[in-house]
Amino acid sequence: MLDTSRRIATPEGIELTLRLAGPVPRALAWTIDLLLRAVVLAIIALTVAALRQFGAGIILLSAFLIEWLYPAWFEATWGSTPGKRAFGLVVLNDDGTPLRWSASLTRNLLRAVDFLPAMYFAGFVTMVMNRDFKRLGDFAANTLVVYREEKLETLAIPEAEPRAPGFALSIAEQRAIIDFAARSTGLTPERAEELAQIPRALIDGAPAGAAAARLVGIANHLLGRQ
Residue-by-residue pLDDT tens, the chain, 226 positions: 445 788 777 665 566 788 999 999 999 999 999 999 999 999 999 999 888 899 999 999 999 999 989 999 999 999 999 999 999 999 999 988 889 999 999 999 999 999 999 889 999 999 999 989 999 999 999 999 999 875 545 567 888 889 888 888 888 888 888 888 888 888 888 888 998 888 888 888 888 788 899 999 998 888 877 6
Q: Which residues contact 58 (CB under 8 A, 6 or more apart)?
A: 44, 48, 51
pTM of the shown model: 0.65
User: What's the full length of the chain, in residues?
Assistant: 226
Q: Distance of CA 31 to CAs 39, 86, 92, 122, 186, Å?
A: 12, 11, 21, 17, 48
